[in-house]
């Protein structure tokens, strides 16, 4: 492999939410509890930080709790839900208000922009580039992907819950080298789709720019954002014939509603 996740810390803006429900026969503490906040329970907050997640908002009702987190790029959704649930149950038990949570959880990846905005941004990127060579622009347009069969508003469902895990990935060419025929860009749509299918992901959109590419995709919930970025780096590098991409890339989360909905603008 040309690129390895353990060697990279990508530029990232990653936010997950976790929603849990009490199991039958148990109830949540009274509304108004602020157990997850750093001022309320620094031990719990610190424990989550060691997991690579920082709680930024919380909402409690007798029937459910929803927590929002800023997460590191090496945190996969499955591991995230396990860490949140396990540590929260331990903290509640320590506080004398034990709660058993249902096996079912809800996890959402959210960002400043909603899904429709991100997908439109990727789709319209090439139209905003000022290039004289119309034939070159057309070659880039010809390798774009806009797959309406991939509905990013739908979750991945497992025995343990529902996961909305959408990512915006931007790979930049090394030294801002101009994308050209020698990189075999005509093979990129098939390469991207194969890499996604092989690794349990699904690509909604691909936009190829003169010195970078954008992808909007649903991730495999067992893989972290950095692992997903690296798998596409390696797939496209193999097609292009070498280390054509900068080590660092951008990866961000997005969903069907804005992060501001759950954080109140924080």
The predicted model scores a pTM of: 0.91
Residue with tokens 């070659």: 139
First-to-last CA distance in the chain?
39
What local confidence, expressed as pLDDT, does residue 14 receive?
A: 97
Least confident of 9-13, 68-72, 93-97: 93-97
Q: At what angle do helices 225-240 and 188-198 cross, to 10 degrees?
A: 140
pLDDT tens track for 195-244: 999 999 999 999 999 999 999 999 999 999 999 999 999 999 988 667 88
Q: What is the CATH number of domain 11-110+259-263?
A: 3.30.70.1290
> Does pLDDT of 260 surpass 90?
no
pLDDT of residue 264: 67
Mean pLDDT of 120-132: 79
Mean pLDDT of 90-111: 88
**Bridge-partner residues for 251, per DSSP?**
12, 169
Full DSSP string of the chain: ----GGG---EEE-EEEEEEEEPTT--PPPTT---SSTTT-HHHHHHHHHTTEEEEEEEE-SS-EEEEEEE-TT--HHHHHHHHHHHHHHHHHHTT---PEEEEEEEEEE-SSBHHHHHHHHHHTGGG---S-HHHHHHHHHT-EE-TT--TTSPEEETTEEEE-EEEEEEEBGGGPPP-GGGTGGGHHHHHHHHHHHTT-EEEEEEE-SSEEEEEEEPPTTS-HHHHHHHHHHHHHHHHTS--B-S--EEEEEBSS-THHHHTT-
Q: What is the mean pLDDT of residues 129-148?
A: 86
Which residue did the predictor score with more confidence, 81 or 89? 81
The whole-angstrom separation of Cα 194 and Cα 202 is 10
52: left (phi over 0), alpha (psi -120 to 50) or beta: left
Helix axes 77-94, 42-50, angle to 10 degrees: 160
CA quadruple 81, 84, 86, 89: dihedral, nearest 10: -130
Which CATH superfamily groups domain 113-254?
Answer: Transposase IS200-like (3.30.70.1290)
Whether 11-110+259-263 and 113-254 share one fold: the answer is yes
25, with CB counted inside 10 A (0-12, 13-18, 19+), is exposed
- Is the confidence at residue 181, as pLDDT, over 90? no
- Lowest mean pLDDT of 149-158, 163-172, 199-208, 234-243, name the range: 234-243
Ordered by start, the domain boundaries in the chain are: 11-110+259-263, 113-254
Residue 109: closest CA among 101, 118, 122: 118
Mean pLDDT over residues 108-123, rounded? 91
| Averaged pLDDT, 67-71 | 95
Listed ranges 25-39, 81-95, 123-137; the one with the highest mean pLDDT? 81-95
């Amino acid at each position: 492999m040309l690129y390895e996740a353990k060697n990279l810390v990508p530029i990232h803006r990653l936010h997950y939410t976790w929603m849990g429900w009490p199991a039958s026969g148990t109830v949540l503490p009274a509304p108004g509890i602020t157990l997850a906040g750093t001022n309320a329970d620094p031990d719990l907050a610190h424990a989550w930080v060691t997991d690579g997640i920082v709680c930024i908002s919380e909402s409690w009702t007798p029937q459910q709790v929803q927590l929002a987190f800023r997460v590191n790029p090496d945190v996969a959704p499955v591991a995230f839900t396990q860490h949140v649930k396990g540590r929260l149950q331990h903290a509640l038990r320590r506080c004398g208000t034990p709660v058993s949570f249902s096996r079912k959880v809800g996890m959402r990846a959210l960002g400043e922009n909603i899904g429709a905005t991100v997908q439109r941004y990727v789709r319209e990127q090439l139209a905003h580039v000022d290039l004289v060579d119309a034939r070159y622009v057309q070659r880039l347009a010809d390798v774009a992907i806009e797959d309406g069969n991939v509905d990013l508003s739908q979750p991945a469902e497992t025995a343990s819950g529902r996961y909305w895990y959408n990512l915006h990935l931007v790979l930049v060419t090394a030294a801002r080298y101009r994308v050209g025929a020698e990189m075999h860009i005509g093979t990129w749509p098939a390469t991207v789709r194969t890499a996604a299918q092989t690794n349990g992901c699904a690509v909604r959109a691909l936009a190829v720019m003169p010195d970078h590419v954008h992808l909007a995709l649903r991730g495999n919930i067992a893989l972290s954002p950095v692992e997903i970025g690296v798998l596409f780096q390696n797939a496209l590098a193999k097609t292009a014939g070498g280390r054509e991409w900068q080590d660092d890339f951008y990866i961000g989360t997005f969903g069907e509603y804005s992060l501001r909905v759950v954080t109140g603008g924080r």
